[in-house]
Amino acid sequence: MKKRTSLREQQNKIERIERLQSAVATLENYKNFFLSKGELVQEGCWVARYRVRQPKQVYWYYKLHASLPTFPTTTEPKKLTKYKHLGKAGSQAHVDAVMGVVRRTIVEEIQKTIDSLKNSLLDISFDSEQEDK
């Protein structure tokens, strides 16, 4: 047998739903802000630093590294490779790749949080927060 909920409990429930909806809306705005700032580097890619040794010098370069072949090669555009050369630290390609990885990470985390809050909304909406014994 289901308990009757008091007016106070119903008001509390409405307030919690409104707080969750407000938080989701705020996070959606944050997500859209970061999406508008530039490209996201695809999932499974990161920026890696590597060293090139020459007889009298050592150089540091950067590459975008993917877990699967993703980038077209320079010699055969139909062939894919796991690496995209970005050049030296501070080059436009290097900075763009770093910022794309950061934006992707932020957007992914915001989306996970949105999904979690939406699940909380479902819990409240369908009275599944508490289960009868």
Q: Across the beta sheet with 58-66, what order do the strands follow? A: 45-53, 58-66, 83-87
pLDDT in tens, 14-70: 999 999 999 999 999 999 999 999 999 999 999 999 999 999 999 999 999 999 999
pLDDT in tens, 73-123: 989 989 999 999 999 999 999 999 999 999 999 999 999 999 999 999 999
pTM of the model: 0.82
